[in-house]
């Protein structure tokens, strides 16, 4: 006879498994030279019409994928949008003269390492600025 177990908290073995998975996650470091880019591209084995891309996603996580390349306008950087599985762009922000100054293919982003350094803006909410009120009216 099989017994059905119900756990009010996560099973210890599942917890251990999750901890082990987290311990072995390796951060992706995108290539910064054409030679490094070519080696990484060869390992992913992309085939036309897709090309090797190593891009930061909207959450700041680096990802390597085979994607169709797109033109990126000057002053912009490519970014992988994981929600729609496509390349988006963001405005390059730097005090130095290191942002893209010409259009380029998205798969050549290694030319502009500043594009890997995007910081994710954080939004803070001032709790005193939010006031929720409720009013009740009596309908005759």
> Of 35, 106, 29, 28, which Cα lies nearest the Cα of 67?
106
In Å, how far are 12, 16, 64, 131 from 20, measured between CA atoms? Answer: 12, 6, 23, 44
CA distance 77 to 118: 9
> Confidence band (pLDDT; 50, 70, 90) for 124?
very low
CA distance 110 to 128: 44
Considering 3-7, 38-42, 67-71, 124-128, the range whose residues carry the highest mean pLDDT is 67-71
**pLDDT over 70, % of the chain:** 64
Read off the pLDDT of residues 6-46 as tens digits, 9 standing for 90 and up.
444 444 444 444 444 443 445 678 888 889 888 989 999 99
Q: Domains of the chain: which residue ranges?
A: 34-117
Q: What is the pTM of this model?
A: 0.64
**pLDDT over 90, % of the chain:** 47
Higher-pLDDT residue of 29 and 120 is 29
Check pLDDT > 90 for residue 102: yes
Q: Compute the mean pLDDT over every residue in the chain, rounded to the nearest whole number.
A: 75
Check residue 94 and give its pLDDT: 87
Higher-pLDDT residue of 19 and 102 is 102
């Amino acid at each position: 006879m099989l017994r059905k177990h119900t756990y009010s908290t996560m099973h210890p073995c599942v917890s251990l498994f999750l901890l082990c998975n987290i311990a072995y996650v390796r951060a992706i470091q995108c290539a910064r030279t054409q030679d490094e880019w070519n080696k990484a591209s060869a390992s992913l084995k992309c085939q036309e019409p897709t090309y090797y891309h190593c891009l930061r996603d909207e959450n700041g996580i680096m990802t390597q994928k085979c994607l169709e390349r797109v033109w990126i306008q000057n002053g912009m950087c490519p970014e992988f949008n994981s929600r729609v599985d496509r390349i988006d762009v963001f405005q390059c922000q730097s005090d130095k003269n290191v942002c893209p100054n010409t259009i380029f293919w998205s798969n050549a982003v290694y030319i502009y390492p500043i594009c890997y350094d995007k910081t994710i803006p954080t939004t803070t909410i001032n709790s005193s600025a939010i006031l929720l009120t409720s009013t009740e009216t009596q309908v005759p």
